[in-house]
Amino acid sequence: ALEARAREGGKWTLLVNEAEKFAPEVEELRELFDFLPRWRLDDVMVSYAPPGGSIGAHIDNYDVFLLQGLGERRWEIEARPRDAAAERLHAGLDVRVLADFSSDQASTLQPGDALYLPPRYAHCVTSTDEQCLSYSIGFRAPTDAELVRSFVEHSAASLASDALWA
């Protein structure tokens, strides 16, 4: 799916979700993460933006490994994860952009650099280059309840339907 998302001032970012389905070269990036269980892999998203392009400050609910392809991006990140209750959003937007954001740390990624971002860390990313292309490899971060529910359902499926507990 292609999406162009703009923030105030008309600075935009083009996002291509599930890019690995369209380009075999992008699929190869997933091989870098064979150390994680395959079921956790969500997708590879490719983003392109002109100088100043950004979707604004936001929070992701999954583990993300970010690889900088072309150009540079400035990353601003809060030092602690936020609870969902602390996620005040700008009203009327198609994307979940935070109404308040205060960066505790910042760095600029250059081609070949990588960054790991755990779930629920607020961040704002801005292109600082004419040719800015980044790859985000997202991994599902299920809740404890989802993991337990899934395990129980998987275990129950292997039991005989007429077996009684004794």
Residue 98 CA to residue 91 CA, distance in Å, equals: 9
Q: 1 pLDDT exceeds 70?
A: no
pLDDT band at 2 (very low <50, low <70, confident <90, very high): very low
Mean pLDDT across the stretch 101-110?
Answer: 96
pLDDT digits (tens, 9 = 90+) for 120-157: 999 999 999 988 999 999 998 888 898 888 888 888 88
More confident residue, 1 or 71: 71
Nearest Cα neighbor of 81 from 121, 123, 141, 116 is 121
Spatial neighbors of 103 by CB under 8 A, at least 6 apart, are 76, 77, 78, 124
18 near 3, Cβ under 8 Å?
no
Residue 140 CA to residue 45 CA, distance in Å, equals: 14
- Strand order across the 12-16 sheet: 2-6, 12-16, 41-49, 132-140, 62-70, 114-117
Q: 8 pLDDT exceeds 60?
A: no
- Token pair for 155: 């275990």
Report the DSSP beta bridge partners of residue 109.
Answer: 73
* Residue 75 pLDDT: 97
* Residue 28 pLDDT: 86
Residue 69 CA to residue 66 CA, distance in Å, equals: 9
pLDDT digits (tens, 9 = 90+) for 46-96: 999 999 999 899 999 999 999 999 999 999 999 999 998 889 999 988 888
* Residue 147 pLDDT: 85
Whether the full predicted model's pTM is greater than 0.75, yes or no, is yes
- Token pair for 100: 């308040």
